[in-house]
Amino acid sequence: MMDVDHEIPAAALTALVDVLGTANVSTDISDRLANARGVWPVELKSMRRVITGAGADGHPLRLPGCVVWPADTDEVRAVLRIAKAWRISIVPFGGGSGIVGGTVPPPGCISLDTKRLDRLSIDPVSLVVRAGAGMTGVELERRLNEHGCSLGHFPQSLHSSTVGGWVATRASGTFSTLHGNIEDRVVGLEVVLPGGEVLRSRPSPRSATGPNLKEFFLGSEGALGVVTEVTLWVHPLPAHQVRASYRFPSFIAGLDGIRAFIQAGARPGVVRLYDAGETAHKFPDFDLADGTCVLVLIYDGAPELVTACEAIAHRSCLAAGGSAMGNELADHWWRTRFDTRGLVLMNSREGGVADAIEVAGLWTDLPGIYAAMMATAERHGVHAYAHVSHVYPSGGGIYVIISLQNADDEAATVAYQRLVDDLLVACHEDRGSISHHHGIGRGKAHLLPLEYGETGTSLLRAIKRAVDPDLLLNPGVLGLGDEA
């Protein structure tokens, strides 16, 4: 069952058409359906129930009242002012690749689709670009490559996620160890506030003029403003790449090797350490002994820098008990790095759920976080494995990949949500952060106090009310007390 009866007031629709044109305002069920979900398993299961008719009556799929496609900042301003005048909720929508429920539409809202915000300009001297928030990652990278540049930001969702979505969720890419996360690449933002005012942070490598206002919107998940343009620093296309892999007798030994070379100053682009379970799953065609943990390293850059980093990492891995395995496993990873078929197929099955739960912690705490989360999955009777893929001198991020099978989608959804809560509580109790880069959307919003306590949570809620007193912008994300 779909909630198709939630309509935008006729006068508001007329106002939107006057600003955007008939072609860029739609109440068609197909357009509303396309913007009704991301890829959070709960959303996928709701969509599947509607398609199959299995239990749909008790779990209606909520749809926006209309979809709009503004072409520039002025049109975004106009949409937000119309929404404010008619007290209609707004949900910014990019590529729909989020996995935490960040774009679930309140029934009858306006889905503000950013895909026409796709302009790009390049400053070849400063090596910065101004990119429209709706540009997909793969298109941005293609156009930069034509100019001999790269952003170096390669999330697994590169082909479907957008620049604005990266900013909204504080995204990471597979080359984050060398090139940083999205917040490290941002030198300026243009944001439309809920009342239609425009905030432009002047592009600059650094500023000491009070608190950095860009940080209010990095990770805000569309709750404080609509990002329309992002200024990013880029780098020349790498001149040299080397791929390598190592085997370790244990996950902890691999962590020790990584920590040693990162703290010594080596910066491979890709650093991915798989535990024994995921090693067996990821590399089934290689003759690996049971219990082996594989580390994949990929180095990018000037040949002299690559050689130096490679030598430091090699020495550190051997000292931690690792042994070199050449480049074959790293080449296999490279060829399959965007492959998510396993997760997609599992979520497509009746009663099947699969997800990647990403958390972070200090080096001191990572072994305990890993052990606690794996033990939690085992208590739930759930198959799980893990890898580390974003590392820093102080610590790193862990992915725990889970899959479960139940009798039907409704039972699977309940079991999944209970499991995720318990996994994140286990992480928190071992001093970890409950999200490294996916954000918390609506799926994890109720756990915000774990991260910030009541004082921090109250402060964030006060900021939301100061910026968006009508609580119209993406209500329900981040646990800000504005659930729709």
pLDDT digits (tens, 9 = 90+) for 376-401: 999 999 989 999 999 999 999 999 99
Same domain? For 76 and 102 the reply is yes
Is residue 458 in some structural domain? no
**Residue 431 phi, psi (nearest 5):** 75, 25
Q: Is the pLDDT of residue 358 over 80?
A: yes
Band of pLDDT at residue 484, cut at 50, 70 and 90: low
What is the reported pLDDT for 5? 58
Tell me 433's DSSP state. Answer: B
Element at 29 (helix H, strand E): helix 29-34
User: How many other CB atoms are there within 10 angstroms of residue 350's CB atom?
Assistant: 15
Give SS3 for 453.
helix
Res 47: pLDDT: 84
pLDDT of residue 48: 83
Count of H-run helices and E-run strands, the chain = 17, 20
pLDDT: which is higher, 196 or 37: 196
The C-alpha atoms of residue 431 and residue 452 are separated, in whole angstroms, by: 12
Identify the CATH number of the domain in which residue 308 sits.
3.30.70.3450
φ/ψ (deg, to 5) at 349: -80, 150
The model's pLDDT over 111-158, given as tens digits with 9 standing for 90+, comes to 999 999 999 999 999 999 999 999 999 999 999 999 999 999 999 999
Average confidence (pLDDT) over 148-170: 96
Residue 206's alpha-carbon distances to 13, 177, 201, in angstroms, are 42, 21, 11
pLDDT of residue 452: 94
Query: Among residues 211, 236, 261, which one ends one of the domains?
Result: 236
Clarify whether residues 60 and 107 are in a common domain. yes
Among 474, 480, 440, 477, smallest CA distance to 460 is for 480
Q: Which residues face 300 on adjacent strands?
A: 241
Model confidence at 252, pLDDT cuts 50, 70, 90, reads very high
The mean per-residue pLDDT over the stretch 192-197 comes to: 96
Last residue of a domain, one of 296, 314, 334: 334
Mean residue pLDDT across the chain:
94
CATH code at position 11? 3.30.43.10
Both tokens of 210, joined, read: 């009070």
Residue 130 three-state SS:
strand
- Work out the average pLDDT over 358-379: 98
Joined tokens for residue 464: 């939301």
d(CA 324, CA 245): 6
The answer on 131 and 227 residing in a single domain is yes
In a domain, 446, yes or no: no
Asked whether residue 466 is domain-assigned, the answer is no
Asked if residue 75 and residue 172 are part of one domain, the reply reads: no
Question: What pLDDT, on a 0 to 100 scale, did the predictor assign at position 230?
Answer: 98
Q: Whose structure tokens read 């774990």? A: 450
Same structural domain for residues 90 and 11? yes
In which band, very low, low, confident or very high, does the pLDDT at 342 lie, cut at 50, 70 and 90? confident
For residues 181 and 390, the answer to whether their CB atoms sit within 8 Å is: yes
Q: Is residue 142, in this structure, part of any structural domain at all?
A: yes
Q: Of 308, 334, 360, which residue sits at a domain end? A: 334
- Phi and psi of 359, rounded to 5°? -135, 180
Closest CA to 73 of 167, 182, 180, 191: 191
Q: What is the pLDDT of residue 60?
A: 65
CA-CA distance, 151 to 179, in Å (whole number)? 8
C-alpha–C-alpha distance, residues 465 and 378, integer Å: 41
Comparing C-alpha atoms, which of 410, 419, 446 is closest to residue 101?
A: 446
On whether both 274 and 248 belong to a single domain, the answer is yes
CATH code of the domain covering residue 221: 3.30.465.10
Residue 483, pLDDT > 80, answer no
Asked whether residue 155 is assigned to any structural domain, the reply reads yes
Domain count of the fold of the chain: 4
Q: Report the alpha-carbon distance of residue 311 to residue 315 in Å, rounded.
A: 6
Q: Is the pLDDT of residue 50 over 60?
A: yes
390 plus 354 within the same structural domain: yes
pLDDT at 3: 52
Residue 443 lies in a domain: no
pLDDT of 341: 87
Residue 94 and residue 9 share a domain? yes
- In the prediction, which pLDDT does 58 show? 52
pLDDT of residue 257: 98
| pLDDT, position 300 | 96
User: Angle, to 10 degrees, between the axis of helix 251-263 and the axis of helix 303-319?
Assistant: 140
Pull the structure tokens for residue 170: 């504080």
**Residues 60-114: tens digit of each pLDDT:** 678 999 999 999 999 999 999 999 999 999 999 999 999 999 999 999 999 999 9
Q: What pLDDT is recorded for position 365?
A: 98
pLDDT tens per residue across span 19-28: 999 999 999 9
Contacts of 433 (CB under 8 A, 6+ apart): 359, 360, 361, 427, 451
Q: Which domain holds residue 59?
A: 2-115
> Would you say residue 57 has pLDDT above 70?
no
Q: Amino acid letter at 17? A: V
Q: What is the mean pLDDT of residues 467-481?
A: 95
447 part of a folded domain: no
Pull the structure tokens for residue 421: 């809560």
Quick check: 59 pLDDT over 60?
no
Over range 408-432, report the average pLDDT. Answer: 96
Q: How many CA atoms lie within 13 A of 190 on its CB side?
A: 15
> What pLDDT is recorded for position 433?
97
pTM for the full predicted model = 0.94
pLDDT tens sequence across 289-335: 999 999 999 999 999 999 999 999 999 999 999 999 999 999 999 99
What per-residue confidence (pLDDT) applies to 49?
Answer: 78
Residue 149: helix, strand or coil by DSSP?
strand
Query: What order do you get walking across the sheet with 226-233 strand by strand?
Result: 120-123, 128-132, 226-233, 186-192, 198-200
Distance from the Cα of residue 475 to its chain's centroid? 19
Residues 206 and 131 occupy one common structural domain: yes
